[in-house]
Amino acid sequence: MLRATWRLVRTLAHAALGALVVHAAFGRLRAAHRHACIGRWSRGLLRALGVRLAAAGEVAPGARLVVANHVSWLDVMALHALAPHARFVAMAELRSWPAVAPLADAAGTIYLQRRRPRDLWRVVREATAALRAGETVVVFPEGVVSDGTAPPGRFHANLLQAAIDAAVPVQAVALRYADARHAASRAVDFTGGVSLGQSLWRTAGARDLVLHLRVLPPVLAEPGEHRRALAARLHAAVTQAYVTPAAPAVAAECPNGPRLAPAVR
């Protein structure tokens, strides 16, 4: 209980500081400085919660669509720690999270109204425009979070149309949380009726929580390949990486936050 309480205090203070920076100065910073702030804040939040990031591979800046399996709301911070230049497609409900909404807005999040089916194609068009402009966009094609104890669920294909229309590579990422006792930790479970507060408390109380993140090589859609076939191909790659994870390079502490070591090959 003491460990969880202390980590939550640090996390809330870190979130408040981030919101203050966004309100006071973020809009005046150049893109490179904004990205640096996003990376530092994301690494700091993981550290405050006691989550150690172990990453293999990298997401280079530039036009690409990144797809990842979805286990927790922490996935966004983990991917931003690795790729602070990326924009995310996220549920519009995120705007109702007071401590998170200003930071998500500042990072250029593309919001999807899940209860409005027609909004999906507006998001595809916006993502396509971002990719054509040379930006990196991240989507979670499962559409929902899983409990992290089983391989990823089916990838929905609609958002992949943005990469096909923009003719840019797609890069898959496999995420898996482990703790002191479990190869697939339930501490970050955010499924069913688990609230954000409950998820925070469980995460903060976990012992030796590690997020294993494996970045796979980018691929291009084959000529004439349908988005559903591309989704199936990416799902198979992420599932294989999830079941047989590579030994990652573990983040080492440094004065400005964790530095991601080079990928293990």
Confidence band (pLDDT; 50, 70, 90) for 260? very low
For 156-195, how does the pLDDT look when each residue is reduced to its tens digit (9 = 90+)? 999 999 999 999 999 999 999 998 888 888 888 888 778 8
The verdict on residue 260 lying in a domain is no
Confidence band (pLDDT; 50, 70, 90) for 249? very low
Report the range of poorest mean pLDDT among 37-41, 126-130, 241-245.
241-245
Nearest to 4 by CA among 255, 243, 203: 203
pLDDT average, residue stretch 64-79: 93
Strands across the sheet with 136-139, in order? 110-112, 87-91, 136-139, 64-68, 170-178, 209-215, 51-56, 249-250
> What 3-state DSSP class applies to 130?
helix
The verdict on residue 137 lying in a domain is yes
- Would the pLDDT of 236 be above 80? yes
* Residue 205 backbone dihedrals phi, psi, to 5 degrees: -90, -5
The verdict on residue 193 lying in a domain is yes
> 103: domain CATH number?
3.40.1130
Contact by Cβ (8 Å): 54, 212: yes
Give pLDDT, residue 98.
Answer: 65
CB-side neighbour CA atoms (13 Å) of 70? 22
Give pLDDT, residue 45.
Answer: 92
The verdict on residue 125 lying in a domain is yes
Q: b/e map of 176-196 (b: 16 or more CB within 10 Å)?
A: bbbbeeeebbebbbbeeeeee
- H helices, E strands: number in the chain: 8, 8
The verdict on residue 264 lying in a domain is no
Distance CA 50, CA 47 (A): 5
- Would the pLDDT of 261 be above 70? no
The verdict on residue 256 lying in a domain is no
The verdict on residue 33 lying in a domain is yes
Report the range of poorest mean pLDDT among 59-63, 87-91, 240-244.
240-244
**Mean pLDDT highest for which of 14-23, 150-159, 167-176, 245-254?**
167-176
- 106 vs 257: which has the higher pLDDT: 106
Give the range of the structural domain holding residue 83, as residue numbers without chain letter.
2-250
- Which pTM value belongs to this model? 0.84
- Would the pLDDT of 257 be above 80? no
Contact by Cβ (8 Å): 45, 202: no
pLDDT average, residue stretch 144-163: 89
Quick one: 175 exposed, middle or buried, by C-beta within 10 A (0-12, 13-18, 19+)?
A: buried
CB-side neighbour CA atoms (13 Å) of 231? 19
Chain-wide mean pLDDT for the chain? Answer: 85
The verdict on residue 164 lying in a domain is yes
The structure tokens 């993502």 sit at: 127
Tally of domains in the chain: 1
Which residues contact residue 204 at a Cβ distance below 8 angstroms, ignoring those fewer than 6 apart?
Answer: 3, 4, 5, 7, 8, 11, 49, 50
